[in-house]
Amino acid sequence: MSPVKIGAPKRWVSDITARRPGYIATKEGWLYLTVILDLADRKVIGWAMSEGLKAVETSVAAWRMAFKNRAIDGKLVFHRTGDPVGPRYSVCLLLIWR
């Protein structure tokens, strides 16, 4: 990965555990994990654990945490991979949170 230039758009990526054995075993049962990473420093800036795949439990919760941890003061490039819900929801989230 190349260094991020000053003024360049922020680049975030997201993934979600979706298929067995991707579930995470906890005392409360099996949960999904949604994670958002900032590619500039490869740090986890948002995450959420949930029993289901509803956007409010997974992506929206992780986005809220990410925005608390990293301010968006310009452009944001967001990519989600391996999402069982479908890429159209990524576009909706960008429009909602823009």
The predicted-structure confidence for 62-71, as pLDDT tens digits, reads as follows 989 999 999 8
pLDDT given at position 2 = 57
HEC string of the chain?
Answer: CCCCCCCCCEEEEEEECCCCCCCEEECCEEEEEEEEEECCCCEEEEEEEECCCCCCCCHHHHHHHHHHHCCCCCCEEEEECCCCCCCHHHHHHHHHHC
CA dihedral 95, 73, 6, 43 (to 10 degrees): -80
Instruction: Count the Cβ atoms, other than its own, within 10 Å of residue 51.
Output: 12
The predicted-structure confidence for 38-68, as pLDDT tens digits, reads as follows 998 999 999 999 888 787 888 889 989 999 9
pTM (predicted TM-score): 0.73
